[in-house]
């Protein structure tokens, strides 16, 4: 395949897949769901710590689930209610549970580019290493796809697997290129991955490396980063 055709194929495929992945990403509780919440879920969404503690003291199950499989911890993470997250964790909430679309609290915060909530979850013992989502990915892959470079650096520091391959046969480095926009945040994301030791030779299902994909998409700064890598 010549370079121009390869570039057209990669760009078209990236646009379609990017839209598909975004459409199927985890979904925050809707207004109707929030209105129907009672008990721990309602208190978690509002960040009502006093009500949370009262419910828990009365025996409410800390990992109760709504119709979408969200626990109060998931709801508090979506709502960025960090005091509620602390209270739930102190009460024994299981930090790594997955909701029905297989997202955990860490991945929810990562996709939302919510560095403060992510930092809190990691400090409480939540794992950056879980396999999440219908794509058998990780929080790191999701954040790399979106160019959330600060989140990526946090996850790397927390031991996220750099070279995990999801069921699309993509790593975080590949997603930063093939689903990114080539801009400053995706460049910073790729640099963070490479600086941490991500394997730049791992290829997609068609055998294309991140360097080949960056060239095909015309991402010159990413090409420079990848050309400088010896692994």
Domains for the chain: give ranges and CATH numbers.
Answer: 1-26+128-231 (1.25.40.20), 28-100 (1.25.40.20)
Which of these, 93, 167, 100, 105, lies nearest to 130 by C-alpha position? 105
- Above pLDDT 90, what percent of the chain? 87
- When pLDDT is cut at 50, 70 and 90, the band that residue 17 belongs to is low
Query: Whole-model pTM above 0.85?
Result: yes
Q: Tell me: pLDDT of 14 over 60.
A: no
Q: What is the reported pLDDT for 4?
A: 46
Which residues touch 112 (CB under 8 Å, ≥6 apart)? 78, 80
Q: Tell me: pLDDT of 69 over 50.
A: yes
Q: Tell me: pLDDT of 9 over 70.
A: no
């Amino acid at each position: 395949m010549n370079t121009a055709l390869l570039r057209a194929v990669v760009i078209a495929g990236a646009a379609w897949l990017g839209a598909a992945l975004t459409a199927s990403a985890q979904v925050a509780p809707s207004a109707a769901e929030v209105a129907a919440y009672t008990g721990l879920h309602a208190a978690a969404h509002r960040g009502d710590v006093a009500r949370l503690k009262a419910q828990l003291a009365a025996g409410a199950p800390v990992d109760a689930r709504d119709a979408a499989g969200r626990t109060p911890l998931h709801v508090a993470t979506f709502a960025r209610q960090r005091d509620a997250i602390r209270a739930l964790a102190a009460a024994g909430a299981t930090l790594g549970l997955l909701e029905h679309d297989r997202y955990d609290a860490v991945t929810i915060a990562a996709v939302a580019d919510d560095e403060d909530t992510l930092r809190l979850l990691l400090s409480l013992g939540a794992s950056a290493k879980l396999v999440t989502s219908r794509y058998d990915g990780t929080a790191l892959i999701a954040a790399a796809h979106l160019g959330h470079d600060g989140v990526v650096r946090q996850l790397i520091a927390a031991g996220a697997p750099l070279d995990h391959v999801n069921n699309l046969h993509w790593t975080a480095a590949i997603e930063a290129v093939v689903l990114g926009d080539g801009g400053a945040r995706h460049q910073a994301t790729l640099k963070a991955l490479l600086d941490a030791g991500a394997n730049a030779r791992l290829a997609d299902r068609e055998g294309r490396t991140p360097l080949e994909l960056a060239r095909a998409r015309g991402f010159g700064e990413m090409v420079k980063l990848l050309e400088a890598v010896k692994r």
